[in-house]
Amino acid sequence: MFVHQRQGSLEVICGPMFSGKSEELIRRIKRAIIAKQKVQAFKPALDDRYDLSAIASHSEQKHGAIPVKDMVELARLLDPEAEVVALDEVQFMDEGLIAIIEDLANRGVRVIAGGLDQDSNGEPFGIMPLLLAKAEYVTKLQAICMVCGAQAGRTQRLVHTGGQVLVGAAEAYEARCRHCHEVPHAMGRRLLEGD
């Protein structure tokens, strides 16, 4: 059946760390390039874990991306000719991104945004709930729980430091399922009780 489809939409790829968000984003970017579409990719400048100017997966796949310090800079660097705009680690981007995405999608641009839906406490991360609500298409990926091997929807922080943002290497985090995931205050209590 022929379905009439107008261009311009938001796709969100979310899930915990190690679930393959960057791999999936890179896969979609590569296919757009094969289709000869003009693609522009951005990432927040603070995410410098692997490469300052690339979307990089834990499986060492890479695609070039422009690091931006805020949404003013992103808006300034947008190429008016871009047909696909890919954004990685959007949980670190500010609310200004919402208006930018709305404008792009309304102008016919395909926007693909990847990021963590939950922080390491299992709480909604930054602007991600807004993006999920606004998206036409949502892909929620799961990793493998490093404790029990089940599907994992959460990210466990393995080191004790405060704050929601700890841009860390893989050693600081692991994927966990709901049952094996522990929030820091519970971990502290367990340590106090000598469990």
Give the active site residues.
89
Is 181 a binding residue for ligand ADP by CB under 6 A? The answer is no
Question: In the complex, what is the shortest distance from the CB of residue 19 to ligand ADP, in angstroms, rounded to a whole number?
Answer: 4
Which of 138, 146, 172, 187 is close enough to bind ligand ADP by CB under 6 A?
Answer: 146
**Which one of residues 10, 11, 12, 21 is an interface residue with ligand ADP (CB under 6 A)?**
21
Q: Binding of ligand ADP at residue 138 (CB under 6 A)?
A: no
| Binder of residue 19, out of ligand ADP, Zn ion, none (CB less than 5 to 8 A by kind) | ligand ADP
Beta strands 110-116; 84-87: pairing state? parallel
Tokens 């799961």 sit at which residue?
A: 142
Which of 49, 58, 62, 134 touches ligand ADP (CB under 6 A)? 58
Chosen residue from 144, 150, 180, 183 binding ligand ADP by CB under 6 A: 144
Q: Which residues contact 85 (CB under 8 A, 6 or more apart)?
A: 39, 40, 41, 42, 78, 104, 109, 110, 111, 112
Give residue 88's identity as a one-letter amino acid code.
D
C-alpha distances in angstroms, 104 versus 10, 30, 64, 83? 9, 20, 20, 9
- Distance (Å, whole) CA 110 – CA 40: 11
Nearer to Zn ion, 150 or 183 (CB): 150
DSSP string for 113-133: EEEESB-TTSSB-TTHHHHHH
Q: Does 140 bind ligand ADP (CB under 6 A)?
A: no
Q: Would you say 104 or 145 has its CB closer to Zn ion? A: 145
Which amino acid belongs to residue 131?
L
Contacting positions for ligand ADP (CB under 6 A) = 15, 17-23, 57-59, 143-144, 146, 175
